[in-house]
Amino acid sequence: MRVAILGTGLIGASIGMRLRQAAGKSKVEVVGYDRYADVARQAQKLGAVDVVMHTPQHAIEGADLIILATPLLAIRKIMEEIAPVLGPNAIITDTGSTKAAVLRWADELLPAHAGFVGGHPMAGKTQTGPRAADAGLFEKARWIVVPTTRSSERAINGVLWLADTVGAESMFMDAAEHDAYVAAISHMPMIAATAMFDMERSSDAWPELSLLAAGGFRDTTRLTGTDPAMAFDIAVTNREHTVHWLNRYIGALIDMRELLLAPEQEEALFRRIAEASFEYHEFVNGKVGRQQAASPEMDAASIMSFQDFMAGSWLREKLSDIVGNAEERVAENERQKRLRRDV
């Protein structure tokens, strides 16, 4: 079997490495191409591809499976380049972070027989390039598979084979659904992280702030460090969904601000904070997907509702403290306000 990987950066090279490790079983030969010849050569040195070709057209010659792993906006250009020489039997897929735009380009640019199947492995790093590649990158990650009405059964199976061979779990979605979901949990958080970091760095107090910033700030803003070309391509190909979730997030921040500003709402504030914290730990510990008792992700016994948790823990005591001292703190708040007015 011959696999052509066009774009041998982090994702392309990680796929190549893993496929070549599996080569013993199924005889996979990996051909690599990258717009930057040194990137392709590096991928080859690191064992991610067997052969390097210098044009995309040469790279796909005789390939059974073609993987477009370039930056998102470059997928369009590379589709134009390979369309004239695309054989009738090659399966073609991609690894781009948004899907509606990619499927539209495939529809416009590729021959009807191509039967493109969209793909998106939900794994990555903020480092880029083949040097950051890792054969284990996709282990247990979700690999979203987005067929079109033109995709053949054979092409879909080819992409499922790919996901399985690199250790990922496939999930079918349509393009609009995919783009909405990733906007929510990936693209909007990336834009929000960038806005937060940029706002802090532009502040006059940044010299002091940067000295005080600890791991919490670094983690909250980590997605700012995403490869800027990738971040930009995502933003412009998934504009509307990202803006939709940005609006919801801005709304959530405004709600939170109202709660913060109302000293008489302290109990509600504590409940909100405590429930989110509880659910966050549950999430990180594997409470994901539909929460059936028999979910394979988590033991039934370890699933506990926030209400149960609250009732049986020290949180209850904290809540009584809050309720008990509420009057005192509202009074202190009033007094502080008066003091400031006097000054």
Site for a second copy in 22-51 (CB under 8 A): 36
Q: Is 123 in the site for a second copy (CB under 8 A)?
A: yes
Can residue 248 be called a binding residue for a second copy (CB under 8 A)? yes
Give dist(CA 169, CA 182) in Å, integer.
17
By CB under 8 A, name the one of 289, 299, 300, 307 that touches a second copy. 289
The residue within the footprint of a second copy, chosen from 203, 305, 307, 320 (CB under 8 A), is: 203
Q: Are 60 and 66 in contact (CB under 8 A)?
A: yes
Cα angle 99, 102, 105; round to 5? 150
141 binds a second copy (CB under 8 A): yes
Binding-site member from 55, 89, 157, 247 for a second copy (CB under 8 A): 247
Among 37, 281, 299, 331, binds a second copy (CB under 8 A): 281
8 A C-beta contact, residue 117 and residue 145:
yes
**Residue with the two structure tokens 């913060």:** 260
What are the C-alpha distances in Å from 163 to residues 49, 142, 175, 179, 343?
18, 9, 18, 19, 67
Q: How many residues bind a second copy (CB under 8 A)?
A: 102
Report d(CA 312, CA 292) in Å as an integer: 23
* Binding to a second copy, residues 77-106 (CB under 8 A): none
Q: Where are the beta strands (DSSP E) in the chain?
A: 2-6, 29-33, 51-52, 65-68, 91-94, 117-121, 142-147, 169-172
Taking residue 124's Cβ as centre, other Cβ atoms within 10 Å add up to 19
Contacting a second copy (CB under 8 A), which of 205, 293, 301, 343? 205
Q: Point out which span in 16-24, 87-95, 119-127, 159-167 binds a second copy (CB under 8 A).
A: 119-127
**What are the beta bridge partners of residue 170?**
143
Residue selected from 37, 250, 268, 323 as contacting a second copy according to rule CB under 8 A: 250
| Contact indicator for 193, 200 with CB cutoff of 8 Å | no
Q: Rule CB under 8 A: say whether 318 interacts with a second copy.
A: yes
CB-wise, 55 or 126, nearer to a second copy? 126
- Chosen residue from 85, 195, 323, 331 binding a second copy by CB under 8 A: 195
- Assigned token pair, 25: 């079983």
Query: In angstroms, what is the minimal distance from the CB of 63 to a second copy?
Result: 26
Half-sphere exposure of 66 (CA within 13 A, CB side): 30
The token pair that represents 140 in the structure block? 């247990």
CA-to-CA distance for 172 and 169, rounded, in angstroms? 10
The structure tokens listed for 105 are 């380009």
C-alpha R_g of the chain: 25
72 binds a second copy (CB under 8 A): no
Task: Please report which helix (H) or strand (E) contains residue 227, including its range.
Answer: none
For a second copy, the binding residue among 211, 293, 294, 301 (CB under 8 A) is 211
285 near a second copy, rule: CB under 8 A: no
Tell me the closest approach of the beta carbon of residue 16 to a second copy, in angstroms: 21
User: Which range in 41-49, 80-88, 91-99, 198-206 contacts a second copy by CB under 8 A?
Assistant: 198-206
- Choose one: 18-26, 48-56, 111-119, 264-272; the region binding a second copy (CB under 8 A): 264-272
Closest to a second copy by CB, 62 or 286: 286
284, 293, 294, 343: residue in contact with a second copy (rule CB under 8 A): 284
Q: Which of residues 163-192 bind a second copy (CB under 8 A)?
A: 171, 177, 180-182, 184-186, 189-192
- Structure token pair of residue 196: 């937060």
